[in-house]
Structure 1
Amino acid sequence: MSQPHPPFRADIVGSFLRPAALKQARTRFQQGEIDASALKAVEDREIRRVVEQQEAAGLNVVTDGEFRRAWWHFDFLEHLNGVTGYFGEHGIQFQGKETSTKQIRVDGKVGFDANHPMLDHFRYLASVAGVTPKMTIPSPSVLHFRGGRRKIDSDVYPSLDAFFADTADAYREAVHAFYDAGCRYLQLDDTVWAYLCSEKELQAARDRGDDPDRLQSIYAEMLNHALADKPDDLHVGLHVCRGNFRSTWISEGGYEPVAETLFGKVNVDAWFLEYDSDRAGSFDPLRFVPEGHQQAVLGLITTKTGQLEDPAAVRARLEEATRFVDKRQLCLSPQCGFASTEEGNDLAEQDQWEKIRLTVDLAREIWGD
């Protein structure tokens, strides 16, 4: 029952703890002590190393660990046409922790540039990978939800409908550009579907002047437009989590409020679902996953602490999920990346790799090699 194509029975969300040498090089670059080419040389070396570590752990999929990024989303979004990155007064509030003050705003027509730097990032990953390389980018909804109407220039977009349409078109171009660069496994990271399950986040959207009741259908339409003519051999996953910064989170609440739309109407090949704590609720919403080829990748291994899960408990949880989804449509992964921002979560690199090996070992035991 092994899985010959993405998603794999043992899969990953994407980011890994930044090694000390990479952190030091980035600091030296910011202080003007080394130039961009010297920083890139360190990034290349450390990406080769993390790819080797992933393959040694038994994974059939590798990422670049997001080692060239400070953020899982801003680094991609600020290189879209019409999007500007800047530093504001406040960061994003998590549970007692605050991020750096990096923000983005839309001040021009949104579009995708064929010179987007992450195309080359993928090409390098593919050149050093011995197994399937996966590219991770933020989902189109992320460009809208966090800032909402107030971060989108009303002179450029008097109507948000035009903004949503342009963003969907930009992502459609991005999907084809990554495919042309050799990508056959693309992951869209999307915290927003989980935020739509949180009354606190829904109220924050209302306070920003947005109508959250419309957003499920809008975001589903954006995603489906972006993927409407994707090649058959490009596998696309959608990762949903409740925030991930230095082992904390933002939202809480099960998938029930969005399940019918997310699982029934969004045309991705797989959903990567956070399921490592009570914050994610029960498996009941998985009843909306259609029978067939689409996969639910269950994030039962936490990346927020170094404590290694009890294999028997993980097996029991997965067996519980089979009440709602056929076992053949399930896979296993950590619930999120280990470092959605360059700061990383509060665990050691050794803990990180033990969790990856546990994921691989359990998948082999449950589905066969």
Structure 2
Amino acid sequence: MALETNRPPYRADHVGSLLRPQRLKEARADWKAANISDKELRKVEDEEISRIVEEQKNAGLRAVTDGEFRRGWWHFDFFEGLDGVKGYNTESGIQFQQQQTKSRAVKVNGTLDFTSHPMLEHFTYLQKTAGDYTAKMTIPSPSMLHFRGDIDEDIYPDKKLFFADLASTYKKAIEAFYESGCRYLQLDDTSWAYFCSEEQLSKIKERGEDPEELKSWYVSTINEAVADRPKDMKITMHICRGNFRSTWISSGGYEPVAEILFEKLQVDGFFLEYDSDRAGGFEPLRFVNRSDLQIVLGLVTSKFGQLEKKEDIIKRIDEASRYVDINQLCLSPQCGFASTEEGNLLNEKEQFSKLRHVVDISNHVWGEALPMD
């Protein structure tokens, strides 16, 4: 059996977001109502992040996140920190299966750029709290600003100019996070799963978009953004089918996007959702032909608290290894536990039971974890 990898993604890993504790939810509500100051909110955030980082360490994880505790959304908060992007409330939220989010959207109303960003400071605090563990930062993929954003055509009359500025903006962001000490960055992206769904493909076409053209734009933009990253910085991508209050948006296996993702996208690893039949089989993994590409199998669901049978997960890892060398495989929950601040339908105890389950199964399959570097 192969031993634990010494670089991210790790054999036992996780996507990033964690359930917001009630104390934090109350503090954020008080802050929005102007009942407490920025400083008072920050104190609660710091304390809860420090606590949750220790919980991740105790669960046996080698990479820790801040749980996205300073955010309301996994994507909009980051976008609103970019130059040329403004957040606003909409008439309705994003529609999931029998659930709808609160209203929010972003508009590109100026020239895109990255000059400063509050999440750089957020990462600095996480790294200090992480200590000898790897501090993992999660941000939305550049694709998502185009996919979810309203783009002012007076600012960007054609896609070529928009995607060039988008790639440049993210290149600067990656450089800034690296200079802040980040060595493990994850790009979260739902667009690729939408390309796998007949229902969502129809909606993309109704918007007047060509899905094949979008795939090409997204790959070239991401590749340009990550092209100059230092060798000691690992960048992964999480492909998500939607995650809100334990519901989802898209269904469909990875076959329609597997070749372009695994052969052309120049990231170091993929977090793939494989917790339900909606994800299809492992056959698309046959397009993984890079020996340095890690595939993190999201076989443990983050949507519900019941633990999967250990032997079932081990069997599925074995099935995936028929297409990808087992030394290139890792294990994680299929998504975060709280892509928005509302969180999924389980409690914190169940959440950490899930993460310990991932670590336990990982140790069984790949051997005991090596000590920290």
TM-fit CA distance, 1:186: 0.3
Per-residue Cα deviation, 1:181-218 (whole angstroms, up to 9, x for no partner): 00000000011111111122122122222221211111
TM-fit CA distance, 1:339: 0.2
Aligned-partner SS, 2:299? strand
| In 2, Cα distance between equivalents of 1:28 and 1:157 | 38
**Is residue 309 of structure 2 the alignment partner of residue 310 of structure 1?**
yes
| In 2, Cα distance between equivalents of 1:242 and 1:362 | 24
| In 2, Cα distance between equivalents of 1:271 and 1:195 | 16
**Is residue 369 of structure 2 the alignment partner of residue 367 of structure 1?**
no
The answer for the alignment partner of 1:107 in structure 2 is 109
| In 2, Cα distance between equivalents of 1:173 and 1:209 | 31
TM-fit CA distance, 1:146: 2.6
Q: What TM-score comes out, normalization by structure 2 length?
A: 0.97
Per-residue Cα deviation, 1:31-51 (whole angstroms, up to 9, x for no partner): 111101000000000000000
Tell me the matched-pair count: 365
The answer for the alignment partner of 1:65 in structure 2 is 67
Identity of aligned residues (%): 58
The answer for the alignment partner of 1:188 in structure 2 is 187
| In 1, Cα distance between equivalents of 2:307 and 2:32 | 35
TM-fit CA distance, 1:280: 0.6
The answer for the alignment partner of 1:336 in structure 2 is 335
Aligned pairs (5 A) from 1:207-218: 207-218=206-217
State the AA in 1 paired with 2:129. V
| In 2, Cα distance between equivalents of 1:241 and 1:315 | 22
| In 2, Cα distance between equivalents of 1:191 and 1:2 | 29
Aligned pairs (5 A) from 1:93-172: 93-113=95-115, 115-130=116-131, 131-147=133-149, 151-172=150-171
Per-residue Cα deviation, 1:296-345 (whole angstroms, up to 9, x for no partner): 00000000111111000000000000110000000000000000000000
The answer for the alignment partner of 1:51 in structure 2 is 53
| In 2, Cα distance between equivalents of 1:162 and 1:204 | 25
| In 2, Cα distance between equivalents of 1:362 and 1:27 | 38
The answer for the alignment partner of 2:234 in structure 1 is 235
Aligned pairs (5 A) from 1:344-363: 344-363=343-362
| In 1, Cα distance between equivalents of 2:157 and 2:172 | 24
State the AA in 1 paired with 2:176. A
- The answer on whether the counterparts of 1:145 and 1:205 sit within 8 Å (CA) in structure 2 is no
Per-residue Cα deviation, 1:34-93 (whole angstroms, up to 9, x for no partner): 101000000000000000000011111100000000000000011111111000101000
Aligned-partner SS, 2:322? coil
TM-fit CA distance, 1:2: 1.2
| In 2, Cα distance between equivalents of 1:300 and 1:38 | 39
Instruction: Give the root-mean-square deviation of aligned CA atoms.
Output: 0.8
TM-fit CA distance, 1:350: 0.9
| In 1, Cα distance between equivalents of 2:42 and 2:258 | 41
| In 2, Cα distance between equivalents of 1:319 and 1:58 | 23
TM-fit CA distance, 1:108: 0.9
Aligned-partner SS, 1:134? strand
| In 1, Cα distance between equivalents of 2:83 and 2:198 | 32
Per-residue Cα deviation, 1:118-167 (whole angstroms, up to 9, x for no partner): 000000000110300000000000001134xxx21111111011111110
The answer for the alignment partner of 2:371 in structure 1 is none
State the AA in 1 paired with 2:76. F
- The answer on whether the counterparts of 2:81 and 2:117 sit within 8 Å (CA) in structure 1 is yes
The answer for the alignment partner of 1:76 in structure 2 is 78
Aligned-partner SS, 2:96? coil
The answer for the alignment partner of 1:14 in structure 2 is 16
Aligned-partner SS, 1:91? coil
**Is residue 329 of structure 2 the alignment partner of residue 327 of structure 1?**
no
Aligned-partner SS, 1:314? helix
State the AA in 2 paired with 1:235. K
State the AA in 2 paired with 1:340. S
Q: What TM-score comes out, normalization by structure 1 length?
A: 0.98
Runs ≥4 residues deviating over 2 A: none
Question: Which sits farther off after the overlay, 26-35 or 331-340?
Answer: 26-35
- The answer on whether the counterparts of 1:7 and 1:295 sit within 8 Å (CA) in structure 2 is yes
**Is residue 27 of structure 2 the alignment partner of residue 25 of structure 1?**
yes
Aligned-partner SS, 2:353? helix
State the AA in 2 paired with 1:168. A
- The answer on whether the counterparts of 2:258 and 2:285 sit within 8 Å (CA) in structure 1 is yes
- The answer on whether the counterparts of 2:273 and 2:297 sit within 8 Å (CA) in structure 1 is yes
